[in-house]
């Protein structure tokens, strides 16, 4: 059984202008011990997808349709009380964007890390302290951090604490939404190395949400590229990075600066569409240099171009991609 199976998920925000189709018919699977990177421009629906996976979509959003199977249980159909009791932090935990700035300033690191152990597992303070010391070591900190307050820590140290929090109840899946955005490049690299160590040590599934493809290039086993609420390319890291087939993925990769390459950096002209009224057919067609008539009329299906590598583009359908 897969650790995570998402089937035809739709998550919309109901606004006065109409429904914003932030996640629109998304399907994916993740196995235990695998790392999935989800990338795309801001506003493509990747954070909404992550929130859906822990059953927490901020209002006016909600899951409209589809299934999210975690260990065989459909969390899209669970109520808030069941999600809190059975799923969040125990099965799936999330490192929210900017979470390191949300540490409670008046509590010590020990108090903040002990709470879930005391509340969810019934640990005594002493038992919790032992567990926290082990976890601090796992994220590269020592027990001198127990009595410190968040303002006494650097950005990198705070992010290590946030990672420790996400691991405290030993979940099967950790979702990290832009976990290195606010950090300088050196600390970014340290934190990504820490994630690699955590993956090896705990053999958990991880999902990284990012607008920066270079962040996931080294760590992800699989990569999903999102555009305007849909997955438009999905495959192993090698397939997506070395053999990108969708014009949007190709454009994203060409926009990453490469020190040793003589190729000029380019960019994708235009802006992502309004998800209240997305373009008909292929949602990328107003920005695509290869757009054809069919692209303006019909939505391209996600087709398999090689084992495990899927692309939603009419160019692929013309080359004989399989459903
Ligand atoms: Fe471009 Fe058409 Fe492919 Fe969309 S379906 S990416 S518009 S060629």
- Residue 38 located in a structural domain: yes
Q: Tell me the CA–centroid distance for residue 131 and ligand 1, in Å.
A: 52
- Residue 23 located in a structural domain: yes
| Ligand 1 atom at minimum distance from 288 CA | 1
Q: What is 4-66 written as a DSSP string? A: EEEEEEEEEEEETTEEEEEEEEEEEEE-TT-EEEEE--TTSSHHHHHHHHTT---TTEEEEEE
Cα–chain center distance at 233: 15
∠ Cα 214 250 246 (to 5°): 120
Cα-flanking dihedrals φ and ψ of residue 43, to 5°? 85, 10
pTM (predicted TM-score):
0.92
Probe target for ligand 1 pocket from 228, 233, 313, with the most ligand atoms within 8 Å of CB:
313
Query: DSSP letter at 284?
Result: T
Total H helices, total E strands in the chain: 11, 12
Take residue 128 and report the two structure tokens written for it.
């919790």
3-state secondary structure at position 201: helix
pLDDT at 322: 65
pLDDT at 241: 95
3-state secondary structure at position 277: coil
- Residue 149 located in a structural domain: no
Q: Tell me the CA–centroid distance for residue 145 and ligand 1, in Å.
A: 52
CA-CA distance, 92 to 171, in Å (whole number)? 5
CA-CA distance, 96 to 308, in Å (whole number)? 29
CA-CA distance, 168 to 165, in Å (whole number)? 5
pLDDT at 238: 96
Is 64 close to ligand 1, i.e. is its CB under 6 Å away?
no
Q: Are 106 and 187 a contacting pair, CB within 8 Å? A: no
Q: Tell me the CA–centroid distance for residue 129 and ligand 1, in Å.
A: 55
Is 315 close to ligand 1, i.e. is its CB under 6 Å away?
yes
pLDDT at 259: 72
Determine the structural domain holding residue 293 and report its residue range. Answer: 4-91+171-318
Domain count, the chain: 1
pLDDT at 96: 87
pLDDT at 211: 85
- Residue 84 located in a structural domain: yes
Which positions ≥6 away from 164 have C-beta within 8 Å?
113, 132, 135, 136, 138, 139, 141
Q: What is the pLDDT along the chain (323 residues), one digit of tens a residue?
A: 899 999 999 999 999 999 999 999 999 999 999 999 999 998 999 999 999 999 999 999 999 999 999 988 999 999 999 999 999 989 999 998 887 777 999 999 999 999 999 998 999 999 999 999 999 999 999 999 999 999 999 989 999 999 999 999 999 999 999 888 878 888 888 889 899 988 888 899 999 999 888 889 889 999 999 999 999 999 999 999 999 999 999 999 998 877 777 778 888 999 999 999 999 999 999 999 999 999 999 999 999 999 999 999 999 876 656 66
- Residue 99 located in a structural domain: no
Q: Tell me the CA–centroid distance for residue 295 and ligand 1, in Å.
A: 6
- Residue 143 located in a structural domain: no
Q: Tell me the CA–centroid distance for residue 199 and ligand 1, in Å.
A: 36
pLDDT at 282: 97
Cα-flanking dihedrals φ and ψ of residue 223, to 5°? -135, 135
- Residue 102 located in a structural domain: no
| Domain CATH for 39 | 3.40.50.300
Mark 271-296 as b/e (b = at least 16 C-beta within 10 Å): ebbebeebeebbbbbebbeebeeebe
Is 295 close to ligand 1, i.e. is its CB under 6 Å away?
yes
pLDDT at 226: 97
- Residue 138 located in a structural domain: no
């Amino acid at each position: 059984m897969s650790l995570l199976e998402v089937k035809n998920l739709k998550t919309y925000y109901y606004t006065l202008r109409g429904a914003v189709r932030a996640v629109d018919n998304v399907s994916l699977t993740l196995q235990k011990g695998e790392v999935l990177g989800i990338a795309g421009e801001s506003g493509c629906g990747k954070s909404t997808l992550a929130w859906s996976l822990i059953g927490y979509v901020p209002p006016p959003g909600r899951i409209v349709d589809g299934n999210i199977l975690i260990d065989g249980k459909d969390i899209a159909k669970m109520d808030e009380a069941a999600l809190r009791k059975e799923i969040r932090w125990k099965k799936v935990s999330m490192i929210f964007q900017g979470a390191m700035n949300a540490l409670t300033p008046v509590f010590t690191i020990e108090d903040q890390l002990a709470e879930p152990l005391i509340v969810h597992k019934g640990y005594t303070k002493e038992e919790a302290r032992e567990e926290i010391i082990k976890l601090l070591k796992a994220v590269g900190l020592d027990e001198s951090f127990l009595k410190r307050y968040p303002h006494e820590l650097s950005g990198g140290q705070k992010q290590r604490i946030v990672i420790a929090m996400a691991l405290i109840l030993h979940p099967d899946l950790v979702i990290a939404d832009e976990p290195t955005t606010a950090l300088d490049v050196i600390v970014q690299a340290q934190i990504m190395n820490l994630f690699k160590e955590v993956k090896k040590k705990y053999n958990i599934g991880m999902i990284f949400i990012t607008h920066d493809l270079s962040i996931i290039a080294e760590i992800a086993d699989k990569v999903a590229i999102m555009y305007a609420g849909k997955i438009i390319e999905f495959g192993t890291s090698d397939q997506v990075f070395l053999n990108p087939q969708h014009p949007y993925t190709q454009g994203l990769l060409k926009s990453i600066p490469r020190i040793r390459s003589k190729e000029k950096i380019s960019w994708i002209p235009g802006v992502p569409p309004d998800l209240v009224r997305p373009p008909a057919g292929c949602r990328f067609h107003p920005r695509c240099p290869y757009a054809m008539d069919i692209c303006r009329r019909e939505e391209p299906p996600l087709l398999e171009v090689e084992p495990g590598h899927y692309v939603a583009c009419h160019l692929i359908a013309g080359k004989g991609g399989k459903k």
